[in-house]
Structure 1
Amino acid sequence: MNSSPSSRPSWQLPTGVTRGSLDYIESAAIADGYDEDLAFGSDFQFDEETIANFIPPEGLVADLGCGTARALIPLVRRGNRGLAVDLSPEMLRIVAEKAKQEQLDIACVEANLCELDMIADQSVDHAICMFSTLGMIKGADNRRTFLDHTYRMLKPGGRFVVHVHNFWFNLFEPNGAYWLASHLVKSRMTKGMERGDKYYRYRGIPNFFLHVFSKGEFARALKQSGFKVVRQIPLRMDRQAELSNAWLFGGWRASGWIALCEK
Structure 2
Amino acid sequence: MNQPPHSPRPPDWLRPPGVAAGTWQYVHQRTIARHYDDFVADTPLCELDRRYVLETLAAVSPAPAATLGAESDDFPPLILDLGAGTGRLADPVRQLGYDVLAVDLSQSMLETLLERHGDRAATQTPAAGTILPMRANLVQLDALADAIADHAICMFSTIGMIQGRANRVRFLCHIARAVRPGGCLILHVHRRWAALRETGGMRRLLRSWIDSFRGEAEFGDATYAYRGLDKMFMHRFSEREIQSELKAAGWTVQRIDRVGLDGGELTQSAWNASGLFLVCTRE
Contact 2:120 2:130 in 1 (8 A): no
Letter in 2 for 1:50: Y
Residue range with higher mean Cα deviation, 47-56 or 210-219: 47-56
CA shift at 1:226, angstroms? 1.0
CA shift at 1:237, angstroms? 0.8
Q: Which residue of 2 aligns with 1:204?
A: 228
Residue number among 236, 246, 255 corresponding to 2:260 in the alignment: 236
Letter in 1 for 2:191: N
Deviations 1:11-38 (A, max 9, x none): 3211111121111111110000000011
Q: Which residue of 2 aligns with 1:259?
A: 278
Residue number among 146, 149, 154 corresponding to 2:179 in the alignment: 154
Identity level (%):
37
CA distance in structure 1 between the aligned counterparts of 2:169 and 2:199, rounded to whole angstroms: 31
Letter in 1 for 2:274: S
Deviations 1:132-161 (A, max 9, x none): 000000010000110000000000001110
Note the 1:96-245 alignment, pairs <5 A: 96-103=114-121, 105-191=130-216, 193-244=217-268
* Bigger-Rg structure (1/2): 2
CA distance in structure 2 between the aligned counterparts of 1:233 and 1:96, rounded to whole angstroms: 32
Deviations 1:164-187 (A, max 9, x none): 101111011111112212321222
Q: Which residue of 1 aligns with 2:125?
A: none
TM-score by length of 1: 0.91
Contact 1:131 1:163 in 2 (8 A): yes
CA distance in structure 1 between the aligned counterparts of 2:253 and 2:196, rounded to whole angstroms: 26
SS in 1 for 2:32: helix
Gapped runs of 5+ residues in structure 1?
Answer: none
Deviations 1:177-203 (A, max 9, x none): 122123212220143x11011011112
TM-score by length of 2: 0.85
CA shift at 1:42, angstroms? 3.1
CA distance in structure 2 between the aligned counterparts of 1:79 and 1:133, rounded to whole angstroms: 24
Tell me the matched-pair count: 253
SS in 1 for 2:267: coil
Distance 1:97 1:54, change over 3 A: same
CA distance in structure 2 between the aligned counterparts of 1:186 and 1:114, rounded to whole angstroms: 24
CA distance in structure 2 between the aligned counterparts of 1:100 and 1:91, rounded to whole angstroms: 13
Distance 1:169 1:259, change over 3 A: same
CA distance in structure 2 between the aligned counterparts of 1:41 and 1:75, rounded to whole angstroms: 19
CA distance in structure 2 between the aligned counterparts of 1:163 and 1:83, rounded to whole angstroms: 18
Residue range with higher mean Cα deviation, 70-79 or 30-39: 70-79
Distance 1:4 1:44, change over 3 A: closer
Gapped runs of 5+ residues in structure 2?
Answer: 1-6, 65-76, 122-128
Q: CA RMSD in A?
A: 1.6
